[in-house]
Structure 1
Amino acid sequence: MSRTVTIANLQTRPMPDFDTALNEALTLAQKAVSDGAELLCLPEYCGGLKTDGAAFAPPHASEAEHPVINGLRDFAAKKGVDILIGSVAVSGQGAKFNNRGLYVDKSGEILSRYDKIFLFDVNLSETQIYRESDRVEPGDQAVVANTRFGRIGHSICYDLRFAQLYRDLAQAGAEILFCPAAFAVPTGQAHWHVLNRSRAIENGAFMISPCAHGAVDGGGASYGHSLIVNPWGEVLADGGDAAGVSMATIDLDLVAATRKRIASLQHDRPYTLSQNEPVSTAAE
């Protein structure tokens, strides 16, 4: 018997506060459920996002009291669907917050949580500078979890550039790799599709990557093009350039079949790195 699941990426817009973020998410969630989705996936900072100069300044609250987390948990239980809460800002012990993703099952219970490890500190241009680490405390734990649809592995946005994380998740049994994002437009246009397809191909896994779309309050914009990519690197769904829902039905049996065809996850070998000293061209 095949192991299929219908997945919907909810391509929300970056919203400046909890209420508008939750309303945006629930509107698209209702549409996805009406269209037959069993697993709903939301982008990074789906609980609200603003920028303050180079820093990220989303609204944040404790996990227990977070209105977006609680609203989505209630929706999951009411509709009997699983939800990947791509990420929300969760208050930490000190001045910084965590960029946290959560997987919620159909009863509304949190099955797993992941704090983003690799933070977006980049200089895209003289005017586009981002320092996520100014206000975000990085995580230090990679996370895999068993769900009713299969074994999943968490990541968030900038993590996409760190291939070893995905290899570790896949070698720990993850069949579905999540990368919710609010990818910037310049890097999205250049790298989003190729990086997602690469992570899927390298690991013989499905990549499910919901990405926010549109302008961010305070400056910046998210790229959109939420993706569902199969283990052979084929794009099954692309959310395009507007808020909305994109869906695909995936068959998890394709993961084992692909990994049997190309068993690269089993072919690690130890090696050392040799570096020659640069040849001097100066006169002796």
Structure 2
Amino acid sequence: MNEFTAACVQLRSGKNVADNIELCSDLIRQAAAAGARFIQTPEMTNVLVRSRDELLERITFEDDDPTLLHLGKLAKDLGVWIQIGSLAVRFGDKVANRGFLLSPEGGVAARYSKIHMFDVDLPNGESWRESATYEPGTKTVITDLPWARLGLAICYDVRFPAIFREQARQGVEVLTAPAAFTRQTGEAHWHVLQRARAIENGAYVISAAQGGRHEDGRETYGHSLIVDPWGVVVGELDHDEPGFVTAVIKPEETRKARQRIPAIANERTFSVEIVRQVQEAMN
């Protein structure tokens, strides 16, 4: 049997890295005690700070990042796989929003830098320009767990289906989109986006989330989700408080879903034809 129990750890990361590590570690230990062998944390696990200058004061380069070092040791102590949804780490004169997969030996098995930058102006007046602080990644990342093939993505990436489709074409059975979704966009789109990526690719989607009001004033939606390949929510924290949720992942369900609806196999290439309507002048 290649079934395994996965967990989403939901956080409310603040400005103090040490405090965030403590809460995250406690919830990871609880999830492991509940039987989880794969545990995912949300985007910006180490710190949430909106000010670019303040963020740069609080973070380090990857090799010295205390959250990465601590959770590597914790993965080894617990004998589990930990997917750090992402950390803010220094990258030249900018910042990388980078996720990590840690093996039960404590090492980094894979890393992924968020490709799509959240540069938006929301109707409630919120304005975000991630590209002013973060250096975007340029490649999608796929790796193998002992039980299934895993695809890495982060937050805003979930609105760009091509990433997930390409991962599915490469045999990925478990897609991921750990996030710090704003409350406004989360209330409108969080569930439907997660379920859509699962349904159209016939794959599990695991997405741990940040939730609640943070020290820097932002509000995130929470509602960490695990969705099965048929689009059914099999695990959810139905609130924005810190905690964890588990679900059993059955990779065989991916094969079944792709047999029922062979959308990947049925894909065809196509060209685009634009037909312009010309209005005749009336004389």
TM-score range normalised by the length of the shorter chain: over 0.9
Range 13-22 or range 134-143, more displaced? 13-22
1:63 partnered with 2:46: no
- TM-score normalized with structure 2 length: 0.95
**Any idea what SS the aligned residue of 2:187 has?**
helix
C-alpha displacement at 1:14, in angstroms?
A: 2.1
Instruction: Give the gaps of 5 or more residues in structure 1.
Output: none
Q: What is the match of residue 89 of structure 2?
A: 90
Query: Residue by residue, what CA displacement relative to the aligned partner does 1:98-138 show, whole Å, maximum 9, x if unpaired?
Result: 10001111111111100000011111136200111110000
- Matching residue within 237, 241, 248 for 2:235: 237
The separation in 2 between residues aligned to 1:215 and 1:67, in whole angstroms, is: 24
C-alpha displacement at 1:24, in angstroms?
A: 1.3
C-alpha displacement at 1:216, in angstroms?
A: 2.5
C-alpha displacement at 1:267, in angstroms?
A: 1.8
Q: What is the match of residue 35 of structure 1?
A: 34
Mapping 1:165-244, distance limit 5 Å: 165-241=163-239, 242-244=241-243
C-alpha displacement at 1:261, in angstroms?
A: 1.7
- Report the RMSD for the aligned CA atoms in angstroms: 1.7
Letter of the 2:150 partner, please give it. Answer: I
The separation in 1 between residues aligned to 2:154 and 2:64, in whole angstroms, is: 22
Q: What is the match of residue 9 of structure 2?
A: 10
- Matching residue within 113, 121, 125 for 1:115: 113
Q: What is the match of residue 125 of structure 2?
A: 127
C-alpha displacement at 1:219, in angstroms?
A: 2.4
Contact preservation (8 Å) 1:56, 1:135: no
Range 108-117 or range 28-37, more displaced? 28-37
Query: Residue by residue, what CA displacement relative to the aligned partner does 1:171-190 show, whole Å, maximum 9, x if unpaired?
Result: 11111001000000010000
**Any idea what SS the aligned residue of 1:183 has?**
coil
Identity percentage of aligned residues: 36
Contact preservation (8 Å) 2:7, 2:247: yes
C-alpha displacement at 1:283, in angstroms?
A: 4.3
**Any idea what SS the aligned residue of 2:186 has?**
helix
The separation in 2 between residues aligned to 1:105 and 1:92, in whole angstroms, is: 24
Letter of the 1:143 partner, please give it. Answer: V
Q: What is the match of residue 139 of structure 1?
A: 137
C-alpha displacement at 1:56, in angstroms?
A: 9.4
1:105 partnered with 2:130: no
C-alpha displacement at 1:197, in angstroms?
A: 0.2
Letter of the 1:109 partner, please give it. Answer: G
**Any idea what SS the aligned residue of 1:225 has?**
coil
The separation in 2 between residues aligned to 1:217 and 1:50, in whole angstroms, is: 8
Contact preservation (8 Å) 1:51, 1:216: no
**Any idea what SS the aligned residue of 2:196 has?**
helix
Letter of the 1:183 partner, please give it. Answer: F
CA gap of 1:56–1:216, structure 2 versus 1, over 3 A, is: farther
Contact preservation (8 Å) 1:4, 1:252: yes
Q: What is the match of residue 44 of structure 2?
A: 45
The separation in 2 between residues aligned to 1:283 and 1:52, in whole angstroms, is: 59
**Any idea what SS the aligned residue of 2:226 has?**
strand
Contact preservation (8 Å) 2:168, 2:203: yes
Contact preservation (8 Å) 2:14, 2:216: no
CA gap of 1:278–1:256, structure 2 versus 1, over 3 A, is: same
Contact preservation (8 Å) 2:48, 2:216: no
The separation in 1 between residues aligned to 2:235 and 2:280, in whole angstroms, is: 54
The separation in 1 between residues aligned to 2:88 and 2:116, in whole angstroms, is: 15
Contact preservation (8 Å) 1:239, 1:245: yes
The separation in 2 between residues aligned to 1:91 and 1:209, in whole angstroms, is: 24
Contact preservation (8 Å) 1:56, 1:131: no
Letter of the 1:83 partner, please give it. Answer: I
**Any idea what SS the aligned residue of 1:265 has?**
coil
The ranges of structure 1 where at least 4 consecutive aligned residues each deviate by more than 4 angstroms after the TM superposition are 281-284
Q: What is the match of residue 249 of structure 1?
A: 248
